[in-house]
Amino acid sequence: MSTEEAAVSTVNNFLKNIIEEDLKNGKHGSVITRFPPEPNGYLHIGHAKSICINFGLARDFGGRCHLRFDDTNPAKEEQEYIDSIMESVKWLGFDWGTHLYYASDNFEQLYQWAVYLIEQGKAYVDDLTAEQIRAYRGTLTEAGTESPFRNRTVAENIDLFARMRSGEFPDGSHVLRAKIDMAAPNINLRDPVLYRILNAPHPHVGDAWKIYPMYDFAHGQTDAIEGITHSICTLEFESHKPLYEWFLDNLPIPVRPRQYEFARLNLTYTVMSKRKLQELVQKGTVSGWDDPRMPTLAGIRRRGYPAASVRTFCELIGVGRSDSWIDVAILEECVRSELNETAPRAMAVLRPVKLIVDNYPVGQVEEFSAANHPQKPEMGSRTLHFSREIWIERDDFMETPSKGFHRLTVGGEVKLRGGYIITCTGVVKDADGVIVELHGTYDPASRDGIHTADGRKVKGVIHWVAVDSAVSAEVRLFDRLFSDPNPDRGGADYSQFLNAASVEIVSDAQLEASLAHSTAETRFQFERLGYFYQDPTDSRQESLVFNRIVTLRDAWVTKK
């Protein structure tokens, strides 16, 4: 399981207060929560919030958290999703130990409870079509009407339900419904469907069943079976709570899990619904569920976000009940602060232009030692090569500098990070006026600081890579998938807000030699550019591919 330690949280929220109270007054001896995904898609950052809440609460109060697949609808569920979900939860740093469960493991018990309800006269088999059931349900402001099949005898219901189970009827021909109240103001209580016929193989229980319980009939009871004390879900399930409790009240179940709801995570510049994410995948807008631009945990992981930064984010945003939109910038800030501490520094030139140091001896190579982290000597150092020709960033030179620009200009000087101070002496352009190379001279006495021989202080420091030992690589510069902060807003077609520049492939970046044999899992800070991570699926020793995780903050860009 994961080796990462999720730290105990110290921030307060209403769920903690409830649990603290329940523990203090003896309502519960310990806390048991659960994370109950349906395996019908990949987990996303919104699920991370739920995972952190559920596993976090269990951790903070010395209880436990179950991983439970809410697999009651085989029409949408697949083993691929089950696998990916377990992967993602583990990656996030949480451990369910031996407590892996499937709602489908309880199908026999659930069936018996359904029979019990029938025997009590509290459930009946309905022959109405789906459309008829909808029409009979009424509207938000008008009561529904009772099904003509509502008053079948217990014996008839038992018989019909057994035959539904045995596969005697086609899909959609019958359902089992609870007999509650067709006039209930809460529509969920208007004789909700308990079971439907589905002749579909199930990823976990195979073809054992022809009928499957609905979420409402499975969730609370499964919570009870597992001994869940606090069943935490998102706000949209709040109107289901009376039903959740109705089943617990009307079935011979001794324990009482309690449902609590919190506001789901909304993040700016992305979409979060499984349907939309699936659409992005199916339409080929992104390369897959794990496309590094996706808000899925698989995508975030592939992009290079450290799991710890996602946990920090979930901790930081808190838990409440009001609809909220969190700015992705906060997530990005969590990533930066984690990586600033942990990422070794290196140099890479994304858009190289050659700088020839005319007064440096042809063929000479020097080796400089450079710290892997400016504030952490314990992270060691690596060797940099310097020679007559070096690559520098095209953006770090301006022929006619804008106000405040303090990098290279003709006649100006700049410090090469970890190297010499360089003075630019000339520009060579091709017929189209495009700069093909720069010329300059170096000051041999300037290795140790940013002060020139005559005591002046050089303002600009730029990154560079020696041409001879440089390693060429592909670098993928990812940006936000959408250009609008709320691509979902107003039911508009979110695809119109896709950011056309959400990925830029730089095919010939030049990296410092030390990166050639770097560990694939290491996240680097390419100085002055951002944090980068070898793409886990496409990068090869002989053809490196780096993903940009996130840029560095840039006060210069912000100011401009």
Partner RNA sequence: AGGGGCGUCGCCAAGCGGUAAGGCACCGGAUUUUGAUUCCGGCAUUCACAGGUUCGAUCCCUGUCGCCCCUGCCA
Binding to RNA in span 169-198, by CB under 7 A? 171-173, 175, 185-188, 192-193, 196-197
Token pair of 540 as six digits: 């090869």
From 264, 351, 382, 394, the catalytic residue: 264
State in angstroms the smallest separation of the CB of 284 from RNA: 24
Measured between alpha carbons, how far is 354 from 372 in angstroms, rounded to an integer?
25
Between residues 485 and 536, which has the closer beta carbon with respect to RNA? 485
State in angstroms the smallest separation of the CB of 557 from RNA: 8
Measure CA of the first residue to CA of the last residue in the chain; give whole Å. 47
Partner residues linked to 202 by β-bridges: 206
Window 464-523: residues binding RNA (CB under 7 A): none
44 Cβ partners below 8 Å, 6+ apart?
272, 274, 277, 294, 295, 296, 297
Is 440 within 8 Å of 356 (Cβ atoms)? yes
Between residues 72 and 502, which has the closer beta carbon with respect to RNA? 72
Look up 38 and say whether it is catalytic. Answer: yes
Between residues 192 and 292, which has the closer beta carbon with respect to RNA? 192
φ, ψ dihedrals at 59, nearest 5°: -65, -50
Between residues 287 and 342, which has the closer beta carbon with respect to RNA? 342
For the four alpha carbons of 79, 85, 86 and 88, in that order, the dihedral sign comes to positive
State in angstroms the smallest separation of the CB of 269 from RNA: 12
State in angstroms the smallest separation of the CB of 342 from RNA: 12
If DSSP codes are grouped into helix, strand and coil, which group holds residue 109? helix
Residue (of 352, 333, 302) closest to 503 by Cα position: 302
**Binding region for RNA (CB under 7 A) out of 22-30, 138-146, 385-393, 497-505:** 138-146
State in angstroms the smallest separation of the CB of 146 from RNA: 15
Token pair of 450 as six digits: 């940013």
From 68, 258, 274, 476, the catalytic residue: 274
Window 19-38: residues binding RNA (CB under 7 A): 36, 38
State in angstroms the smallest separation of the CB of 106 from RNA: 13
State in angstroms the smallest separation of the CB of 408 from RNA: 10
Between residues 460 and 536, which has the closer beta carbon with respect to RNA? 460
- What binding mask, one character per residue, do residues 247-276 give for RNA by CB under 7 A, x or -? ----------------x-------------
State in angstroms the smallest separation of the CB of 149 from RNA: 11
From 38, 156, 245, 389, the catalytic residue: 38
State in angstroms the smallest separation of the CB of 61 from RNA: 16
Partner residues linked to 382 by β-bridges: 370
**Binding region for RNA (CB under 7 A) out of 22-30, 69-77, 296-304, 382-390:** 69-77
CA distance readout (Å), 5 to 46, 57, 311: 21, 15, 11
Window 70-89: residues binding RNA (CB under 7 A): 70, 72-73, 75-76
392 Cβ partners below 8 Å, 6+ apart?
349, 352, 353, 355, 408, 416, 438, 462, 463, 464
The Cβ of residue 501 has, within 10 Å, a number of other Cβ atoms equal to 11
In this structure, are strands 325-326 and 266-267 parallel, antiparallel, or unpaired? parallel
Beta strands in 145-197, from DSSP E residues, in sequence order: 175-178, 193-197
Window 329-388: residues binding RNA (CB under 7 A): 329-330, 333, 336-337, 340, 345, 373-375
Look up 489 and say whether it is catalytic. Answer: no
**Binding region for RNA (CB under 7 A) out of 59-67, 93-101, 210-218, 300-308:** 210-218
For the four alpha carbons of 92, 98, 99 and 101, in that order, the dihedral sign comes to positive
Measured between alpha carbons, how far is 400 from 412 in angstroms, rounded to an integer?
11
State in angstroms the smallest separation of the CB of 392 from RNA: 13
Measured between alpha carbons, how far is 171 from 515 in angstroms, rounded to an integer?
59
- CA 292, distance to chain mean position in Å, is 10
Window 382-421: residues binding RNA (CB under 7 A): 404-407, 415-419
Residue (of 525, 526, 551, 522) closest to 536 by Cα position: 522
359-393 as b/e: b if 16+ CB within 10 A: ebeeeeeeeeebebbeeeeeeeebebbbbbebbbb
Between residues 58 and 243, which has the closer beta carbon with respect to RNA? 243
One-letter identity of residue 72:
T
Question: How many residues touch RNA (CB under 7 A)?
Answer: 92
Q: Which of 8, 140, 362, 431 binds RNA (CB under 7 A)?
A: 140
In this structure, are strands 32-35 and 64-69 parallel, antiparallel, or unpaired? parallel
Between residues 206 and 540, which has the closer beta carbon with respect to RNA? 206
Window 100-129: residues binding RNA (CB under 7 A): 128-129
- What binding mask, one character per residue, do residues 423-452 give for RNA by CB under 7 A, x or -? ------------------------xxxx--
Between residues 302 and 353, which has the closer beta carbon with respect to RNA? 353
Q: Is 49 in the site for RNA (CB under 7 A)?
A: no
Window 213-242: residues binding RNA (CB under 7 A): 214-216, 219, 235-240
If DSSP codes are grouped into helix, strand and coil, which group holds residue 110? helix
Between residues 291 and 462, which has the closer beta carbon with respect to RNA? 462
Cα 353-357-361 angle, rounded to 5 deg: 135
Q: Which of 212, 244, 386, 533 binds RNA (CB under 7 A)?
A: 212
Any idea what DSSP says for residue 234? E
**Binding region for RNA (CB under 7 A) out of 150-158, 166-174, 352-360, 498-506:** 166-174
Q: Is 325 in the site for RNA (CB under 7 A)?
A: yes
Is 275 within 8 Å of 41 (Cβ atoms)? no
Look up 274 and say whether it is catalytic. Answer: yes
Between residues 121 and 170, which has the closer beta carbon with respect to RNA? 170
Q: Which of 317, 348, 392, 550 binds RNA (CB under 7 A)?
A: 317
Catalytic positions, please? 38, 264, 274
